[in-house]
Structure 1
Amino acid sequence: MMLNKPYPRSFSHIGLSVPNVEEAVKFYTEVLGWYIIMEPSEVIEDDSPIGQMCTDVFGKGWGTFKIAHLATSDKIGIELFEFPNNKAPENNFEYWKTGIFHFCVQDPDIEGLVEKIIANGGKQRMPIREYYPNEKPYKMVYCEDPFGNLIEIYTHSYEFTYSQGAY
């Protein structure tokens, strides 16, 4: 009997909650160069197909929120959500808790991107580090957008960075 081995699914998109969707669109388009697929718009709790889908996800009583859709150069979608009465967590880097704690982008000019993030209200969380000093030029760093979402930056592709399977 042959077992059905799962095939690798492609990554479609990630949703980020931000305190101001217009400011987030500005940051991500100007700093990371992502494309606007859908300008910020309001979604209202009603009987429309999108209203029903959101009620399925959030439960009754969610009311309204703003949303915008962006895309990366490799066609990955970014959904930006602005919920009413949103609250920033006291500690946005609780890496020990289950869930997503960062996303990663790739830029060979890691220093330039870090400078641009800082100049646009974000911050650098650590020094830029080399994965394989004196062997390969692969670097990484953790930063934050102005809204507290963690952004990791690699100079090279994920596959290249981990292709040898060990540090």
Structure 2
Amino acid sequence: MKMNHIGIMVGDMNKAVEFYTKVLGLKVIMDNTQVIEERETAIGRMCIAVFGPGFKGFNIAHLVTTDGIGVELFEMKDRQERHPVDFSRIGIFHFCLQTDDFESVIERTKAFGGKVRMDIMRYHPEDDSKPAKMVYLEDPFGNLFELYSHSYKETYAVEYE
């Protein structure tokens, strides 16, 4: 199994594309496109099945990480209410990106309207041979994401291969 893409709801598509490209370094592969409710195309029928009839349309943009994972940004026409993160709710509550430019990404996140949710943490502060760092951040729309300095395997494996 491989990760293919994630979908993220945003409140302002132009601001979101700017944040995800300039702060996180993602590349746009399909720019902001308007989707309307219609039944003539496969995409139209799929959107009705997912969002329900009467969804009023949305804007979508497709971005990609340097390792090829897709990020779909959705700006719904009729659902612009920001919801608080409810940690008692079952389901996905964040995504994680890895970077070699750890501190700069944190600074750009703040500069472009995002938030830093915690101090930078090292998973193994007692072991200098395991320098992995992490931090939780927020995009300008309240979507949580985690930032890693090392791969998932390097961060958690008992022994690096």
Cα displacement string for residues 5-62 of structure 1 (whole angstroms, at most 9, x for unaligned residues): xxxx101100000001111011101111101010101111112221111111112111
Percent identity, please: 50
Partner of 1:114: 106
Alpha-carbon offset, residue 84 of structure 1: 1.4
The answer to whether residue 60 in structure 2 is matched with residue 67 in structure 1 is: yes
TM-score (norm: length of structure 1): 0.89
Structure 2: gaps (5+ residues): none
Return the alpha-carbon distance in structure 2 between the equivalents of residues 60 and 101 of structure 1. 26
Q: 2:118 aligns with which of 118, 126, 145?
A: 126
The answer to whether residue 142 in structure 2 is matched with residue 148 in structure 1 is: yes
Partner of 2:74: 81
Any residues of structure 2 matched to 1:80-99 within 5 Å, and which?
80-85=73-78, 86-89=80-83, 91=84, 93-99=85-91
Q: 1:53 aligns with which of 46, 71, 92?
A: 46
**2:33 counterpart SS class:** strand
AA at the equivalent of 2:126:
N
Q: 2:156 aligns with which of 145, 155, 162?
A: 162
Return the alpha-carbon distance in structure 2 between the equivalents of residues 123 and 46 of structure 1. 37
AA at the equivalent of 1:125:
R
Return the alpha-carbon distance in structure 1 between the equivalents of residues 99 and 88 of structure 2. 27
Alpha-carbon offset, residue 63 of structure 1: 2.3
Cα displacement string for residues 107-149 of structure 1 (whole angstroms, at most 9, x for unaligned residues): 1332221111001111101000110013121111001011111
Return the alpha-carbon distance in structure 1 between the equivalents of residues 141 and 52 of structure 2. 25
> How many residues are aligned here?
155
Alpha-carbon offset, residue 74 of structure 1: 0.6
Partner of 1:43: 35
Aligned alpha-carbon RMSD (Å): 1.2
Return the alpha-carbon distance in structure 2 between the equivalents of residues 133 and 49 of structure 1. 51
TM-score (norm: length of structure 2): 0.92
Alpha-carbon offset, residue 71 of structure 1: 0.3
Q: Find the structure with the greater CA-based Rg.
A: 1
Partner of 1:31: 23
Partner of 1:4: none
